[in-house]
Structure 1
């Protein structure tokens, strides 16, 4: 008989990429995590890990087992939902997460609405980046996340997660007041090809979107400053240190001497809702998703 706790350790190794990272996430020592997998391998009579350089990799048998493990986890989650069902009424604690703009513009007003309409439901918000959100979902620490679509996200075919489109958030070109492009209703990004640029930091989920938008316009931006926060980028623009692409959902500090100009071709980032596989069926999550879709419909002017 398979020990589900040992199976979860194997799932964590597959998710985090190494035994050490999986052990850290599960609050195990690496030797304890390795022992759990060795015991699972003995129970099943197959090898689950094999050497690869200085590390290890999953064997074909482990890959096959994981396909069943994800299905087992989804069924277990559904069993918990069925046991806790309360005639479909949203109740209990709903744990949600998102990156800063998603929290400010979508999750905070969603929580306020749910608090007014469903007094038996308590919403708990945690701010987290995109990779962290997937880790929190995988570990069962949250129920619902808003994430940006990036090349590093798990594929949509990954049955551990249910990722659904929420909205497209356009990028605007932000320039100083009085800039040659400031009076335009729309601008082709190619017209800013020779400007100094302010871009998101290397680890930002938005950086690939900004560079891709410039690439689609036929140029590589001359990035002279990097910012983690959109308002930092706005202040740099206000001091005439460069131009920037900023998502329309990002609320910038008011009264700065800057102008937001819409872009031809509508460069944008995609925002997704994400739950664990089957998690959207929980009444609290389904209610939250409906509220988020209503908010998303009017969020981008």
Structure 2
């Protein structure tokens, strides 16, 4: 392949396709994430290869893998993407972020447990900003962030989320969310102030989709406890899950971020020993962290998370009533 001159230009959409392939690992998954056909992605990458004058892909069995030259290009692609975000942030700062739009993508628990307080404060400081919220989880959440469909992603660290070292994002740690055991009030262990997880190994469990953050966390927590749960019901909505537990259909883990439920037939108990947790964070595209609206949004999310964590600690200390109540009303 001939080397091109030093004045070559690069189509940023093709560069985005290369970055997505690096993340997804296959043309099919890349095409799905970008809402294109595998053929269209291949054509974009072939065109980028011609633009650069270097091979970017090589065959590996029935698939493809990135060449060494492609890895070099990706290092520069991350820098280019971050610089474009900085330019956008500086332009937004020119108007002090007083007008514009903001789209936040978040998993369901964060929408109910963090966003109301954060958005209330953001509306006070930036009243002219049009705000939209989209419910999503990794990997779709970060595909949308990469594509510019959302500006801030609120997520849980689990297998589907990008690694902490991913240079494409600037992360803000929000909180460590503790998960409690949810039992029917008539359960044999409902009177315990704390419940050993292993003693629930023979119980039927109510668990979310394995691709969801809490479905994945519950499975890993049970595995760490030395057993594989018998999953009787697959439910992603927390209110529905709590209703099933209350009805005696099984036991579950429920994060404090979505508590309390105020259900007389539901007992929420801390796990004995080290409590299971999930780490919640917010992310923006690298280079966008100085955008005034995004900066304010992250500040308000952090404040809301601190308040939620403090409230959750208080609730966790007050679970003694077999019916799931406590002296301060927590845990129901």
Report SS of the residue matched to 1:186.
Answer: coil
The answer on 1:218 being equivalent to 2:237 is no
Structure 1 residue aligned with 2:81? 73
Structure 1 residue aligned with 2:243? 235
Structure 2 residue aligned with 1:294? 303
Q: 1:25 to 1:199 in 2, by over 3 A?
A: closer
Report SS of the residue matched to 2:21.
Answer: helix
- Using the TM superposition, give the Cα deviation of residue 30 of structure 1 relative to its aligned residue in structure 2, in angstroms: 3.6
Query: Of 58, 66, 90, which aligns to 1:50?
Result: 58
Aligned residues of 2:89 and 2:289 also touching (Cα < 8 A): no
Report the Cα distance in structure 2 between the residues aligned to 1:103 and 1:126, rounded to whole angstroms.
9
Structure 2 residue aligned with 1:202? 210
Structure 1 residue aligned with 2:267? 259
Report the Cα distance in structure 1 between the residues aligned to 2:74 and 2:277, rounded to whole angstroms.
35
Aligned residues of 1:2 and 1:40 also touching (Cα < 8 A): no
Which blocks of at least 5 consecutive residues in structure 1 are unaligned?
none
Query: Of 138, 145, 148, which aligns to 2:156?
Result: 148
The answer on 1:164 being equivalent to 2:172 is yes
Report the Cα distance in structure 1 between the residues aligned to 2:109 and 2:249, rounded to whole angstroms.
24
After the TM superposition, which of the residue ranges 125-134 and 28-37 deviates more from structure 2? 28-37
Structure 1 residue aligned with 2:102? 94
Report SS of the residue matched to 1:56.
Answer: strand
The answer on 1:276 being equivalent to 2:249 is no
- Using the TM superposition, give the Cα deviation of residue 88 of structure 1 relative to its aligned residue in structure 2, in angstroms: 4.0
Report the Cα distance in structure 1 between the residues aligned to 2:15 and 2:288, rounded to whole angstroms.
20
Structure 1 residue aligned with 2:39? 31
Structure 1 residue aligned with 2:193? 185
Report SS of the residue matched to 1:35.
Answer: helix
Higher share in strand: 1
1:249-286 alpha-carbon deviations (Å, 9 max, x no partner): 12465435111111221111111111111222111111
Report SS of the residue matched to 1:95.
Answer: strand
- Using the TM superposition, give the Cα deviation of residue 90 of structure 1 relative to its aligned residue in structure 2, in angstroms: 4.8
Query: Of 241, 246, 250, which aligns to 2:258?
Result: 250
Relative to the length of structure 1, the TM-score reads: 0.91
Report SS of the residue matched to 1:280.
Answer: coil
Report SS of the residue matched to 1:263.
Answer: coil
Report the Cα distance in structure 2 between the residues aligned to 1:114 and 1:200, rounded to whole angstroms.
32
Report the Cα distance in structure 2 between the residues aligned to 1:211 and 1:12, rounded to whole angstroms.
28
Relative to the length of structure 2, the TM-score reads: 0.83
1:186-210 alpha-carbon deviations (Å, 9 max, x no partner): 2221232332222222222212321
Report the Cα distance in structure 2 between the residues aligned to 1:241 and 1:87, rounded to whole angstroms.
55
Aligned residues of 2:118 and 2:303 also touching (Cα < 8 A): no
